[in-house]
Amino acid sequence: MAQRTVLFVLFDAVQSLDVTGPLEVFMGAEQHAPGTYRIRTASLDGAPVRTSSGLTLVPDRALGDPLDAHTLVVPGGQGTRSPDPALVGWLREHGPRAERLVSVCTGAILLAAAGLLDGRRATTHWAYCDKLARDHPDVEVDPDPIYVRDGHVATSAGVTSGIDLALALVEEDLGREVALGIARHLVVFLRRPGNQAQFSAQLAAQTAQREPLRDVQRWITEHPDADLTVESLATRASLSPRHFARAFQTETGMTPGRYVDRVRLEHARRLLEDTSDGIEEISRASGYGTPEAMRRAFVKALGAAPAEYRRRFRPAPAR
């Protein structure tokens, strides 16, 4: 593979981890296979920038014309809330020339402001997905995955998911073994599948205000293999099924069925990642009943069957 320049765009109030996380991945690949990547950082005028945490980053140079990068990485941070019009203008002019256009976290807001996500599917930090969809209706915003690939454009969710996306790009360029070596060095999993949810069922749903409903939430989490029909859960909450379903959705922002589906999927994922239990045993323990039912749930939610998920995500045994 010919050497590829990876250019990181810097600006004031950038999130430092959005820059350094993916940068370490690409630099690790370059150290593993010298001559693979040329890593560069640039701000509009070449001046140092101050990150949202107060760290000062000194860029290699100013953003230039023409774009001399294969992969253009646009990080996020507080500086995306009121973006510099000059930066948005530079991205609008030069972004389309990149062979691979990448955003981390709310960097997607900058790409969208430059019109580079119009007609594309994209994601960003879960807390800003609604804003991205509201401000840019031509963008198909998917709030669930940790990263999304749409043609040559790739967008990732919050902060550390930029590492997952960078590992996926390195794996695409150099193969699984190189990406695995970098992941081990950084003490992270090789990579989470891009369509893995950004957060757990417990974080995705609000905690119910009323104690009986909170008890039901805890029961679901602790007993994914139990009878979790609306009727059964309503009995546990001492409510009619209709009243329970309505109250649960009002207080948690999620229907009982969707909450149960997420908890079961999360439970099965953990067992696949952390144990050597068989697929049939995991399907029963997670409430699916049969391996085929669990396979359908995984393919629908994650785009991968349980065995493939385990292969991708379970850490390699220590040597």
In the DSSP assignment, the letter for residue 316 is P
Backbone φ and ψ for 80, nearest 5 degrees, come out as: -85, -10
User: Nearest Cα to 9, choosing from 125, 149, 161, 111?
Assistant: 111
If you count them, how many residues does the chain have?
319
Neighbour order of strands in the sheet with 4-9: 61-62, 37-43, 4-9, 71-74, 100-103, 153-156, 147-150
HSE at residue 207, side-chain half, CA atoms within 13 A, is: 5
By annotation, the residues acting in catalysis are 105
Contacts of residue 30, defined as CB under 8 A and 6 or more positions apart, other chains included, come to 36, 37, 38, 39
4-9 and 61-62 as β-strands: parallel, antiparallel, unpaired? unpaired
